[in-house]
Structure 1
Amino acid sequence: MTIGTLSTVGAPPGGFRHPTLTHPVRRIGGREFDFSRQVAVMAIVNRTPDSFYDQGRTFGFDAAVEAALAAVADGADWVDIGGVKFAPGPPLPVDEEAERVVPVVQAVHAASDVVISVDTFHAAVARRAIAAGAAVINDTTGLSDPDLARVVADSDATLVITHSLAAPRTAHPRPQYADVVAEVVERLRDRVDLAVRLGVPAERIVVDPGHDLNKNSLHSLELTRRLGEITGLGLPTLVALSNKDFIGETLGRPKRQRLAGSLAAAVACVLQGARIVRVHEVAPTVDAMRMLEAIQGWRQPVALRHNVVDDDDG
């Protein structure tokens, strides 16, 4: 595929540069997004007993469904459901992973039109999740199983391709890059080309540079600083920054005190063209993204009263 070029078309006066997306308007599940002027907030729901941030709080079925629907009430556009965390560990049987995520997909799909994605690298789990109502497959291993792309190709689902280096659930100690951004771009381009060859249309592909995934904090900061080179691929870019270790190490904050840093990193990425942000704290992120959309001139205020109408507020 051809790398897009940066453009100021549609930017506010004196405003920010954005990449030209090859397919900005997309129908994903029951919702339509115009990524030339819209930022989607993706909520994280993990049905794992050892999740990075929630530490098993949403492992139970009822808790997972409740968390997903609470995220929708808080304004989430997407809900990302995962049954296995990215970190190294023993493999989980595919059937057990499916048993964790598929019932949650079914319940959320029955209760809401929110876009549902499933975080998996297994083709068999993806197939069952799509049948249950998932509209997105979020593969954090960059198509370690090419059959996953074939499953997505045979459906209407969108595929998220994330940059990572190690085989699934294995360690990659002390990762080294000559130029982390250039190497991430090349790897994503290669993986996107593979997905297209396997039948996934480019208009159903999203990319994610994989902050902290087989990268140290300096790598993740560099990716954030130069995210425009990732978004220059011309595909909608997802960033999964929420409460990650590069934010904690940069600020010296534990996981529960990283919201401000997470929002700052998300804004920095959106101003360079990111269009989907994957987060734990939905309500403050929705407010930040909607405010940013208004600053960009992409949306109007919910109310317009200050110095416009006469009232008693002074």
Structure 2
Amino acid sequence: MEITHHNKTLSLNSPVVMGILNVTPDSFSDGGQFQQQAHALEHAMQMLADGATILDVGGESTRPGAVDVTQQDEIDRVVPIIKAIRERSDCWISIDTSKAAVMRAAVEAGANIINDVRALREPGALEAAATLQVPVCIMHMQGQPRTMQSAPDYENITQEVAQFLSQRIDACIDAGIVRQNIILDPGYGFGKTLSHNYQLLAQLEAFHEFGLPILAGMSRKSMIYKMLDKTPQDILGGSIACATLAAAKGAQIIRVHDVKETADALKVVAMAVRENHELGE
């Protein structure tokens, strides 16, 4: 399994780490830390050195209750750091946005992947992604960031998330996006209760029916810190446990804050999976 952009190909035969780079003042666990470009660039280079394969740059917080950011403000936040990273590295860069104009500006600056929590449902987003011909990650979310945690409700969460993703896959293909360049994200923490999140983790294998890469992002989220009764910054063990479980269940991309520790954990998972495969041959 692989994704491609122009002459770049990323093999996903073993799970890879996507390092989170929020250039925002209000993200839930690291808001304000990397607003200054020098700090953001230093952190980006450190994540690559620590084992990140993809850097996910975001200029708008999608935590519950987050304030909206204007299109221009978001562009002003993400484009300079994407350009700075691209000048120093040929790594894969993802733009975490739902806005068509930001997608275009970010890809022009050097981004290779669009990571959209709204699954390309905002005005012009689907058309922009199809025109840009980059891999896209489409995520399930019930509601909108400001209100998504008010009263999440499902009859069968895994089935309903799969149905939504199936519809969005069809929409992407109809728009002209190459099927093998579609990445699926069940949307941990986005319009889900604690129980919903762990049901989705327990049943992650269900999403392999699509034959597409799966992204799992649970790092420092409330599904971990609320269960452990700790702060988002104090749940490294819980975040790594979720990452390890997701990778063992076949997720190809693991989106995290703590790159070095997660990369080590994924090497262990990859080794165990490889040995198990060889035993079965």
Q: Which TM-score band (shorter chain)?
A: over 0.9
The answer to whether residue 73 in structure 2 is matched with residue 96 in structure 1 is: yes
Could you say if the C-alpha distance between residues 256 and 209 of structure 1 is closer, same or farther in structure 2, counting changes exceeding 3 Å?
same
Give, in whole Å, the separation in 1 of the partners of 2:19 and 2:198: 22
Please list, as runs of the form range in 1=range in 2, the aligned pairs for 1:150-169 lying within 5 A after superposition.
Answer: 150-167=127-144, 169=146
Structure 1, residues 261-283: CA drift from partner, whole Å, max 9, x if none? 11111111112210000000000
Identical pairs, percent: 33
* 1:40 corresponds to which of 9, 13, 16: 16
Could you say if the C-alpha distance between residues 171 and 39 of structure 1 is closer, same or farther in structure 2, counting changes exceeding 3 Å?
closer
Tell me, yes or no, if the aligned pair for 2:19 and 2:255 is still in contact at 8 Å. yes
Tell me, yes or no, if the aligned pair for 1:150 and 1:200 is still in contact at 8 Å. no
Structure 1, residues 81-121: CA drift from partner, whole Å, max 9, x if none? 00001123332110110000011111101100110001000
Give, in whole Å, the separation in 2 of the partners of 1:149 and 1:213: 21
Structure 1: runs of 5+ lacking an equivalent? 1-23, 299-314
Which secondary structure does the structure 1 equivalent of 2:238 belong to?
Answer: helix
Structure 1, residues 144-194: CA drift from partner, whole Å, max 9, x if none? 215222212122311000000223544451110001111000001111111
Structure 1, residues 206-232: CA drift from partner, whole Å, max 9, x if none? 010000101111100000000011232
Tell me, yes or no, if the aligned pair for 1:159 and 1:205 is still in contact at 8 Å. yes
Matched with 1:309 is none
The answer to whether residue 220 in structure 2 is matched with residue 251 in structure 1 is: no
Matched with 2:244 is 267
Give, in whole Å, the separation in 1 of the partners of 2:148 and 2:269: 37
Letter aligned with residue 78 of structure 1: I
How far does residue 205 in structure 1 lie from its aligned partner after superposition? 0.7
Matched with 2:49 is 73
The answer to whether residue 100 in structure 2 is matched with residue 123 in structure 1 is: yes
Please list, as runs of the form range in 1=range in 2, the aligned pairs for 1:10-29 lying within 5 A after superposition.
Answer: 24-28=1-5
Give, in whole Å, the separation in 2 of the partners of 1:149 and 1:77: 25
The answer to whether residue 213 in structure 2 is matched with residue 213 in structure 1 is: no
**Structure with the greater alpha carbon radius of gyration:** 1
How far does residue 65 in structure 1 lie from its aligned partner after superposition? 1.4
* 1:60 corresponds to which of 36, 58, 69: 36
Matched with 2:274 is 297
Structure 1, residues 277-300: CA drift from partner, whole Å, max 9, x if none? 0000000111111121111117xx
Give, in whole Å, the separation in 1 of the partners of 2:11 and 2:68: 38
How many residues in Structure 1 have an aligned counterpart in Structure 2?
274
How far does residue 31 in structure 1 lie from its aligned partner after superposition? 4.9
Higher deviation after alignment, 150-159 or 200-209: 150-159
Matched with 2:180 is 203
How far does residue 204 in structure 1 lie from its aligned partner after superposition? 1.1
Give, in whole Å, the separation in 1 of the partners of 2:209 and 2:234: 32
Give, in whole Å, the separation in 2 of the partners of 1:137 and 1:144: 13
Matched with 1:85 is 61
What is the root-mean-square deviation of aligned Cα atoms in Å?
A: 1.6
Tell me, yes or no, if the aligned pair for 2:92 and 2:111 is still in contact at 8 Å. yes
Letter aligned with residue 258 of structure 2: E
The answer to whether residue 119 in structure 2 is matched with residue 145 in structure 1 is: no
Which secondary structure does the structure 1 equivalent of 2:124 belong to?
Answer: helix
Q: Could you state the TM-score of these two structures normalised by the residue count of structure 2?
A: 0.93
Give, in whole Å, the separation in 1 of the partners of 2:229 and 2:204: 23
Could you say if the C-alpha distance between residues 228 and 165 of structure 1 is closer, same or farther in structure 2, counting changes exceeding 3 Å?
same
Could you say if the C-alpha distance between residues 139 and 242 of structure 1 is closer, same or farther in structure 2, counting changes exceeding 3 Å?
same
Larger fraction in helix: 2
Tell me, yes or no, if the aligned pair for 2:96 and 2:116 is still in contact at 8 Å. yes
* 1:50 corresponds to which of 18, 26, 34: 26
The answer to whether residue 85 in structure 2 is matched with residue 108 in structure 1 is: yes
Q: Could you state the TM-score of these two structures normalised by the residue count of structure 1?
A: 0.83
Give, in whole Å, the separation in 1 of the partners of 2:192 and 2:172: 24
* 2:110 corresponds to which of 133, 144, 150: 133
Higher deviation after alignment, 62-71 or 114-123: 62-71
Matched with 1:222 is 199
How far does residue 139 in structure 1 lie from its aligned partner after superposition? 0.2
Tell me, yes or no, if the aligned pair for 1:149 and 1:159 is still in contact at 8 Å. no
Give, in whole Å, the separation in 2 of the partners of 1:113 and 1:258: 31
How far does residue 257 in structure 1 lie from its aligned partner after superposition? 1.8
Letter aligned with residue 80 of structure 2: P
